[in-house]
Every structure is written in structure tokens, then in C-alpha cells.
Amino acid sequence: MKSIRFQLLGWLLPGFVVVCVVAIMGVYFSAKQANDADLDARLGRFAGSARLALRNQANAGTGGARTPGLRAFLAKEDFQSPGQYFELWTSDGVLERRSPNLGNADLPRPPELARDAIRYDGTLENGEQVRLSAMQYPQGGGSPPLAFAVALSRSEGEARLSRLLTDLVIGGVVCCAVLCLLLVLALRFALRPLARVGEQAVAMGAASLHERFAMEAMPLEIAPIVTRLNDLMARLEQGFERERRFSGYLAHELRTPLAAIRATSEVAAKWPDQSSPEDFHEIAQAAARLQHTVDSLLVLSRLETASSDVTSETVVLGPLVEECVALHMERAKQHDLRFDLRLDSSPTLETDPCLLRIIITNLIANATEYAPPGSEIVIAATGDDPFLRVGNLAPDLTPEDIPRLFDRLWRKDTTRTDATHAGLGLSIANSCAVARGFTLTAKLDDGGVLQMSLHREK
């Protein structure tokens, strides 16, 4: 697993090297081009001086005497040492004159000559690289033209270019090293907030879930991650709080029937002659309540771990709602409740009929159990979203209670004296909805009506 620092270095350092190499090549070839241009300019002036010397030579005497102008030209100090060279030959290629520094060597000649100067590169016999300019020089009086070539050594320019290239390479290496050091330091400084987040995350535990990661001075790139981590911490805190409440609720639910069983059994064991069938009936009822609570918890466990098989088939919503309502009709009559069914004409749904039946049954059971006597329960099933709504008066609930309705074993304190319910119905309905991809929501309006809505999967 690579770190962010090494990944950035792996991308940026080669980029720095490429940029430096391109810059070095650009500067070197620009200097080389300037050096060649300067050499050609000097070569042009040198060839002009040679033409002037030949012209003076022709005008200085008659009868083929060429000594004054050309002799003075070749007597320059520049021709005593290597650096610039001159050679004159006839149109037949016979050597006429050469500069003293050539000795017995010849300058490289082009294959063809013209009146316009021809420039080319060549190498002397001693290996020296030169730049040459050769041309024909016409003579008056019907004499055949002469040919000459001038040459300038490239040694001085090549030496300057070599020194420049060395300096550029050394400078490029130093620049890359400095950039690498600055990049390492910059990354270490920039990633310091991320390291602090990691250290804080390591130090967090169940007792510090209320803490949040600081957002002050956090880089923009890391801020979204820290925001999501804070959201995660909030959800974890809520989850742990629900688990703590669940432990308390479970202890309360189990303590009451266990206490009743123990008290009744101890009395029956101490005074067996005074025991009655009602005592054993109370023990059976308490045991049944415990079994109901444990069975409901097992159902929740299977749903939340997705161990139950979920099928999908076309379900007609109206008949299923009517079937679930019929199961609670007797309970509704006992509480003097009325059902107001608002069912669209045969809306259908692709879902698991068993899970949907559990959801509807628990919602109706919750409404019939806690709606005040003489009130009305409204059940609406439509083809829209939400596709199922169950509404009933809930005078004992407050808006603060709504987020806790789906908590396991939660019941309003005023209802805890009822031993027939464990507060798991809405938890089971919500788990069934989640298992099938539905969303079950609860809302308490201003009139005190609790509206339970089942939304389609997104």
C-alpha cells in the first residue's frame, strides 16, 4: 500500500526531471543556434575580406602579378595560428595559395562552386572541425575564374557550448535536488493535519464518541473527509446510545416477568397447600411474555443480519391490507375504534408478501393498541409514494418521541404498566422495510395524529 507522499513524489519528481531536461535542451540548442549564426556572420566578413584582397590583387599590377593584395591578406597574424584558414585554387583545382597555418594540408572542397558563397562544415586532416565558405571569383580580361575557400574553427564555440552544457546539467541536478527537498518538506507540512486526524482517531474509543474532529485550519481537500468522519462519529454515538437504551429496556422487560415468576413460585413452594391454579396461570402468562419478547428479538436478529430469504412477486395491495385489518377487528371493537380504509383500485407492488404482511400487521397493531378509545384509524393504500399510510391519534406522544419510535423495546413511560407488549412491533416493521429496500417514516402533525408512511425503494 503506497502512501500519498510517495505517490505524489513518484508523479512530481519525474515531472521535475523532464521539465529540467527540456529546459536544458532548449537553452543549449538556442545557444548553439546563436553560436552558428555568429560563426556564419564572421565567416561572411572573412569571405568579404578575401574577395577584397583578390580585387586589390587584380588591380595592383599586370601580367599576372598577384602579390600585393593577397600577400598582405595572408600576412595577418590570424593566419599564423589555428583558428581561421584560407585557400585559393584555379578553376581546374590547381592550388594557388593557402594560409601559412594550413601547412601542407588542404581545406575540404565542395563538389561544385558558384559565384554565390556555399557554406558547409568540414574536418581538417588534424581532426579540427571547421565551418567553410567557398565560391568562384571572376577575373577580368577573359581569364578563367579563381576559386577560394575560407574557414573558421569551431573549437572555441564548441568549447563554450560544452562549458554551457556542463553548467546547465549541474544546475539542473542541483535544481532537482532542491525541488525534491522542498517538495518533501511541503508534503510533510501539508499532510500534517491528516496525521493529526489519524492520531485522534486512534485515541478514540467508546467513551469518547461524543468528541469530533476539529475543522479549524483544515485543508480544503481534507475537509470533506473530516466532515464525513464527524458524521460517522455522530451515527456511532447514536448507535451506542441506542444500544445502551436497549440494554436498559431489555433489563426492564425481563425483570418484571421474571420477578413475577420467582415470587409466585416461591410462594407456591413455601405453602403448597394454599397454591391455586391461578398462581400457575400467572407463571404461564409471565413465561409466555418472556417467550414472546425473545421470539421478537430473534425475528429482529434474523432480519438485521439478512439471514431470512427475501422473495419478490407481484402483490395486490388492497386485499392484503383488508386481510391484515380483519385480524385486528376484534381488538379495535374492544377499544371502540373505527377503521377508515382508503384503498385505490388494485394497486400492485413487486415485493416479498411475507415481509409486507409483517409490516402492515405491526403498523395496524400499533395503531389499535395506542389510539385513544372512540377515535379513528385511517389506512390509505395507493399507487403513489408513499404507497401505504397508517394514521391514528397519539395524544401521549411528543415530537421528541418520534425519532425513538423504531428503537427496540422502547415504549412511552405511561404505557410501561401494560404487560402485553414489549415495544418491538415498530422495530420489526422497520427492519422488514429495510430488508426489502423500503423506507418507513413516522410524523406527528399539529393535530396530534401519528402518520406512519411506507415509501418505495429508491
Q: Residue 64's pLDDT is what?
A: 46
Q: What DSSP line would sit under 142-169, residue for residue? A: TPPPEEEEEEEESHHHHHHHHHHHHHHH
Based on the domain organization, do 243 and 349 belong to the same domain? no
Based on the domain organization, do 282 and 156 belong to the same domain? no
Based on the domain organization, do 256 and 330 belong to the same domain? no
Determine the Cα–Cα distance for residues 69 and 57; give it in Å rounded to an integer: 4
Q: Residue 63's pLDDT is what?
A: 46
Determine the Cα–Cα distance for residues 358 and 393; give it in Å rounded to an integer: 22
Q: CATH number, domain at 97?
A: 3.30.450
Structural domain includes residue 212 = no
Q: Residue 302's pLDDT is what?
A: 67
CB 130 within 8 A of CB 124: yes
Using a 10 angstrom Cβ sphere, with 0-12 exposed, 13-18 middle and 19 or more buried, the burial of residue 343 is: middle
Q: Residue 338's pLDDT is what?
A: 92
Based on the domain organization, do 290 and 352 belong to the same domain? no
Based on the domain organization, do 374 and 327 belong to the same domain? yes
Based on the domain organization, do 131 and 26 belong to the same domain? yes
Structural domain includes residue 399 = yes
Based on the domain organization, do 135 and 238 belong to the same domain? no
Q: Residue 456's pLDDT is what?
A: 82
Count of domains observed in the chain: 3
Q: Cell 432480519 maps to which residue?
A: 303
Determine the Cα–Cα distance for residues 458 and 383; give it in Å rounded to an integer: 15
Query: Is residue 456 helix, strand or coil?
Result: coil
Q: Residue 267's pLDDT is what?
A: 78
257 CB-side CA count, 13 A? 22
Q: What is the pLDDT along the chain (458 residues), one digit of tens a residue?
A: 567 778 878 888 888 889 989 999 999 999 999 999 999 999 999 999 888 888 887 776 544 444 457 788 888 877 888 889 999 998 788 888 889 988 888 899 888 888 888 999 999 988 899 999 999 888 776 778 889 999 999 998 999 999 999 999 999 999 888 988 888 888 888 878 878 888 888 888 777 778 888 887 777 777 888 888 888 888 888 877 777 766 666 666 677 678 778 888 887 777 877 777 777 777 777 777 677 667 666 666 666 665 455 677 888 888 888 888 988 888 889 889 999 998 887 788 888 888 888 888 889 988 998 899 999 999 998 888 888 999 999 888 888 888 888 777 676 654 444 545 556 778 778 888 887 788 899 998 888 899 999 998 75
Residue 80: domain span: 4-161
CB 97 within 8 A of CB 87: yes
